[in-house]
């Protein structure tokens, strides 16, 4: 899978996630823009040599991290990863 294809898959995943969140009472109308900026940050990490999984875990948290991981056919976060046990990347 190319970087462009991966980028599209992740953008589609965060857009779908945002659409589902939009039906909830305390929906953040600015969330999608923040998600898209975070997707760009993931790919800056990848361009600097980070593995995709590590970049995703450094940029996303919780259920959204699992949604993004699933979109690129990676396993859900492990219990250790939920606790923050994974390589840290420089901002």
Show me where the domains of the chain are located.
3-82
Q: For the residues 9-30, what does the mean pLDDT come to?
A: 96
The predicted model gives 7-20 an average pLDDT of 97
**DSSP classification of residue 27:** -
How much of the chain, in percent, has pLDDT values that exceed 90? 84
For residue 91, the model assigns a pLDDT of 73
**In whole angstroms, what separates CA 14 from the centre of its chain?**
7
3-state per-residue secondary structure call for 44-77: HHHHCCCCHHHHHHHHCCHHHHHHHHHHCCCCCC
Per DSSP, 24 falls in state S
Q: What size, in residues, is the chain?
A: 91
Q: 58-89: per-residue pLDDT in tens?
A: 999 999 999 999 999 999 999 999 888 888 88
pTM of the predicted structure, to 2 decimals:
0.91
């Amino acid at each position: 899978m190319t970087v462009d294809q991966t980028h599209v898959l992740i953008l589609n995943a965060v857009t779908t996630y945002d659409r589902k969140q939009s039906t909830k009472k305390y929906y953040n109308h600015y969330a999608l823009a923040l998600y898209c900026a975070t997707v760009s940050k993931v790919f800056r990490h990848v361009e600097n040599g980070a593995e995709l999984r590590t970049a995703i875990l450094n940029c996303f948290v919780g259920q959204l991290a699992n949604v993004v991981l699933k979109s690129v056919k990676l396993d859900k976060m492990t219990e250790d990863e939920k606790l923050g046990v994974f390589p840290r990347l420089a901002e």
